[in-house]
Amino acid sequence: MIKGILNKTSYPSVLKSLDAGMLRARVISNNIANATTPGFKRLEVSFEEHLRTALDKTRLKGTTTDSQHLAIGRKDISRVNPLVERPVDPTLPGGVNNVDIDSEMAKLAENQILYNYGIRFARGALRKLDSAVQAKSVPIR
């Protein structure tokens, strides 16, 4: 019953974004660790555009009756996952690799801020649900 209630809220998309944030932190850390490795090609995580497409109510959503069928239209939120991709970037002028340490550190800081916000949002959603189950009022913060 609780799972059914949670699936009707924004909670699943918040959990997916937290998963993407964790994966992004690992990928960025790996990029930073290999900043001086000759020939290393940096990686990125793509997720937000996939999530935006899945949440777009103006797009049609197809239904599959078999696991072998291709998905049509926008995806169900449960099928949206972060993807690790190798962007097409030229190598740095020094020719070592395409990792810019300053850019990666900024991305890591941004990712941390977004992750912390996601945690606060998820905590608030659970607090509201808990209050609803217990028939209590929720203080607005």
pLDDT tens track for 91-115: 665 567 888 999 999 999 999 999 9
pLDDT at 7 over 70: no
Residue 64 inside a domain? The answer is no
Q: What angle, rounded to 10 degrees, do the helices at 11-33 and 48-55 form?
A: 170
pLDDT at 104 (0 to 100): 96
pLDDT tens track for 73-95: 677 788 889 999 998 876 665 56
Residue 113 inside a domain? The answer is yes
Residue 108 inside a domain? The answer is yes
End-to-end CA distance of the chain: give it in Å, rounded. 28
Residue 47 inside a domain? The answer is no
Split into its structural domains, the chain has a count of 1
Residue 49 inside a domain? The answer is no
Model pTM?
0.77
Q: How far is C-alpha 88 from the chain's CA centre?
A: 21
Q: Are 97 and 34 in contact (CB under 8 A)?
A: yes
Residue 54 inside a domain? The answer is no
Residue 62 inside a domain? The answer is no
Distance CA 140, CA 121 (A): 13
Provide the residue range defining the domain that includes 128. 1-38+99-141
Distance CA 94, CA 69 (A): 48
Residue 86 inside a domain? The answer is no
pLDDT at 140 (0 to 100): 64
Pairing type for strands 44-46 and 83-85 reads: antiparallel
